[in-house]
């Protein structure tokens, strides 16, 4: 027999020891091989493939999606899921197993999502599903709506580059679902709970989505005056958070299948929180478990380092912040109309930012030789600095860190020398002078600065910088969407200069479906 396994078998060691004691020989150190031996042992004892899998599954602890294949039974594939996504696809005279709707889209639009603990026996003409008690069950067959169109790079060298340049379009498409420009209103999908009764927001996410949540924390507290907690999903349950009645737990994920975030969602649900989900796959596990589903409409994102999914998340979160502020009575009609106008300006401002692509590419040689790079920002530009550093780390393998600009003198400034580029995000506005003051501290210690600001900011503080990148002058609300573009482009061009694999960086996966 053979198997395909996504996940972790946490108790593989005692199972392996048991099998070795029986004289079975292992060819690898993987937990996956343990499962293969367990099922093979049952088949060798005379069990059918179906009975063998049913016997073994209760012994496996962890998160996994597994497909089993048997040499003597070529007409059957058995699949099982526990904490990792697995989907059944239904075709004409053929059926499929896949991780999600997008994977199956080129083959079929008819899919069924397996519930936690389900397993399925797939044949050409049937798919019989069982629950964790081995009882036959029926799961709804739905139309996935996932695009089956072949995704091409077009005239772009990499998918990441293409997706960076798609951002004005997909952000505009996303805003169409949340903004009514003629009425000057921000709209959400139908809400079956009282948004005005929310007394605290708890944001949970991983990686780039976490930085989108950090930006949203500024917006929720500034506009709606609602307190916000934010956690990395992998830490959320383990700090035993106090979740009070009336709280909204907001989960942000591109795939909607991120294992840590999904586990955190279920913990928050068990603690009585209302669940909102910002996600790019509206048929995903998180989407199906949400009280309020907020799709991002970014379209398929192939590059592992997220770009357009991130900016679409920001657009949705800005709309949610405005709705929460209105529900709380903190937003007048005129103020809401102003927010709508600024959100409508975002796609064009992002286009202006993209026009500086060649200029940004010309600066890549200033960063590519570095071993360490620092990013600085204040307010919402602090999480944007962290996101810029993450992008550079992911695809160029240069060590980079993002800091709140005011924190430099509390330790990180010790790292400054003429071999460490410092990238400063400083749009003109209420925090500009303080950010520039911190930048001058860096410059006084020999730091080589790349300043990203608008024309006014560059005129005031650009002199003496190693390089400058001009952005359009925008309202602070949409500055994070606009300033995402130069940090993405800089990371991209540095990675190209270094010759790394831009779309598939080493050790990374697009969707992290195990803890």
pLDDT band, residue 509 (cuts 50/70/90): low
**Residues ≥6 apart with Cβ < 8 Å to 465:** 443, 449, 450, 451
Distance of alpha carbon 328 from its chain centroid, rounded?
Answer: 29
> Do 193 and 331 share a structural domain?
yes
**Looking at the 3D structure of the chain, how many domains does it have?**
3
> Do 364 and 338 share a structural domain?
no
d(CA 90, CA 104): 9
> Do 205 and 331 share a structural domain?
yes
In tens, the pLDDT along 130-149 reads 998 999 999 989 888 766 55
d(CA 168, CA 172): 6
**Residues ≥6 apart with Cβ < 8 Å to 448:** 366, 418, 420, 421, 422, 466
> Do 134 and 234 share a structural domain?
no
pLDDT of residue 147: 62
**Over 60: is that where the pLDDT of 150 sits?**
no
Please, what is the average pLDDT of the chain?
A: 91
Residue 149 lies in a domain: no
Identify the domain boundary among 286, 319, 354: 354
Q: Show the CA angle centred on residue 8, arms to residues 6 and 10, nearest 5°.
A: 160
- Percent pLDDT > 90 in the chain is 70
pLDDT of residue 296: 94
pLDDT of residue 469: 96
In tens, the pLDDT along 84-126 reads 778 999 999 999 999 877 778 888 989 998 888 999 999 999 9
d(CA 151, CA 149): 6
Residue 151 lies in a domain: no
Paired sense of beta strands 110-113 and 200-205, if any: unpaired
Largest CA distance in the chain: 80
In tens, the pLDDT along 447-480 reads 899 999 999 999 999 888 999 999 999 999 999 9
d(CA 226, CA 198): 8
pLDDT of residue 60: 93
Q: How many CB atoms lie within 10 A of CB 503?
A: 19
Residue 454 lies in a domain: yes
In tens, the pLDDT along 200-238 reads 999 999 999 999 999 999 999 999 999 999 999 999 988
> Do 240 and 111 share a structural domain?
no
Q: The CATH number of the domain where 115 resides is what?
A: 3.60.20.10
Residue 153 lies in a domain: no
Q: pTM for the complete prediction?
A: 0.80
**Could you write out the DSSP letters of every residue in 376-405?**
EE-TTHHHHHHHHHHHHHHHH--EEEEEEG
Identify the domain boundary among 354, 385, 415: 354
Q: The CATH number of the domain where 343 resides is what?
A: 3.40.50.10490
Residue 438 lies in a domain: yes
The total number of residues written for the chain in this structure: 515
> Do 229 and 81 share a structural domain?
no
Classify 80 in phi/psi space as left (phi over 0), alpha (psi -120 to 50) or beta.
Answer: beta
> Do 326 and 252 share a structural domain?
yes
> Do 411 and 483 share a structural domain?
yes
> Do 372 and 267 share a structural domain?
no
pLDDT band, residue 387 (cuts 50/70/90): very high
**Over 80: is that where the pLDDT of 514 sits?**
no
d(CA 215, CA 324): 15
Distance of alpha carbon 358 from its chain centroid, rounded?
Answer: 28
pLDDT band, residue 423 (cuts 50/70/90): very high
Q: Between 324 and 301, whose confidence is greater?
A: 324
d(CA 424, CA 436): 9
Domain that holds residue 124: 2-143
Helix (H, G, I), strand (E, B) or coil at 452: strand
CB distance 12 to 34 below 8 Å: yes
Identify the domain boundary among 102, 120, 143: 143
pLDDT band, residue 178 (cuts 50/70/90): very high
pLDDT of residue 69: 96
pLDDT of residue 258: 83
pLDDT of residue 515: 53
> Do 76 and 27 share a structural domain?
yes
Q: What six digits make up the tokens of 360?
A: 């940004």
> Do 337 and 242 share a structural domain?
yes
pLDDT of residue 412: 81
86-105-280-79 Cα dihedral, nearest 10 degrees: 0
> Do 190 and 65 share a structural domain?
no
Q: C-alpha distances in angstroms, 85 versus 57, 79, 131, 257, 318?
A: 16, 11, 15, 7, 29
Q: C-alpha distances in angstroms, 357 versus 301, 332, 448?
A: 20, 39, 21
């Amino acid at each position: 027999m053979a198997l395909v396994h996504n996940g972790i078998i946490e108790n593989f060691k005692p199972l392996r020891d048991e099998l070795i004691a029986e004289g079975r020989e292992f060819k690898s150190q993987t937990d996956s091989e343990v499962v293969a031996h367990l099922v093979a042992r049952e088949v060798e004892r005379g069990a059918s493939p179906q009975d063998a899998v049913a016997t073994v599954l209760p012994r496996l602890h962890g998160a996994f999606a597994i497909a089993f294949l048997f040499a003597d039974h070529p007409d059957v594939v058995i699949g099982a899921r526990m904490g990792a996504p697995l989907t059944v696809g239904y075709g004409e005279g053929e059926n499929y197993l896949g991780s999600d709707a997008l994977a199956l889209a080129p083959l079929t639009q008819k899919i069924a999502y397996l519930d936690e603990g389900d397993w399925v026996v797939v044949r050409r003409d049937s798919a019989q599903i069982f629950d964790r008690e081995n009882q036959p069950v029926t799961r709804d067959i739905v139309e996935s709506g996932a695009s089956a169109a072949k995704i091409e790079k077009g005239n772009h060298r990499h998918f990441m580059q293409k997706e960076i340049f798609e951002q004005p379009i997909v952000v505009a498409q996303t805003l169409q679902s949340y903004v009514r420009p003629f009425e000057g209103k921000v709209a959400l999908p139908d809400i079956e709970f009282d948004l005005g009764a929310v007394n605290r927001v708890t944001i949970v996410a991983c990686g780039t989505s976490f930085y989108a949540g950090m930006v949203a924390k500024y917006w929720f507290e500034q506009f709606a005056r609602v307190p916000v907690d934010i956690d990395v999903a992998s830490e959320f349950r383990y700090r035993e958070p106090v979740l009070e009645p009336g709280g909204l737990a907001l989960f942000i994920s591109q795939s909607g299948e991120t294992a840590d975030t999904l586990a955190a969602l279920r913990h928050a649900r068990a603690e009585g929180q209302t669940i909102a989900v910002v996600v790019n796959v509206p048929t995903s596990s998180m989407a199906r478990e949400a009280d309020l589903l907020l799709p991002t409409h970014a379209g398929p994102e192939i590059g592992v380092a997220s770009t357009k999914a991130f900016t679409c998340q920001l657009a949705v979160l800005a709309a949610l912040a405005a709705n929460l502020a209105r529900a709380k009575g903190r937003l007048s009609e005129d103020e809401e109309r102003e927010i709508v106008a600024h959100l409508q300006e975002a796609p064009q401002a992002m286009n202006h930012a993209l026009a500086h692509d060649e200029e940004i590419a010309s600066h890549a040689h200033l960063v590519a030789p570095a071993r360490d790079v620092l990013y600085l920002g204040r307010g919402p530009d602090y999480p944007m600095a962290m996101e810029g550093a993450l992008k550079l780390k992911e695809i160029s393998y240069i060590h980079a860190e993002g800091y709140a600009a005011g924190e430099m003198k509390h330790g990180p400034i010790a790292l400054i020398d003429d071999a460490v580029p410092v990238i400063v995000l400083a749009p003109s506005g209420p925090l500009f002078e303080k950010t520039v003051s911190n930048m001058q501290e860096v410059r006084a210690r020999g730091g080589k600065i790349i300043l990203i600001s608008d024309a006014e900011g560059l005129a005031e503080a650009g002199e003496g910088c190693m390089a400058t990148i001009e952005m359009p002058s925008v309202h602070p609300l949409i500055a994070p969407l606009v300033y995402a573009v130069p940090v993405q482009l800089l990371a991209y061009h540095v990675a190209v200069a270094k010759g790394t694999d831009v779309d598939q960086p080493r050790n990374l996966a697009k969707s992290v479906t195990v803890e």
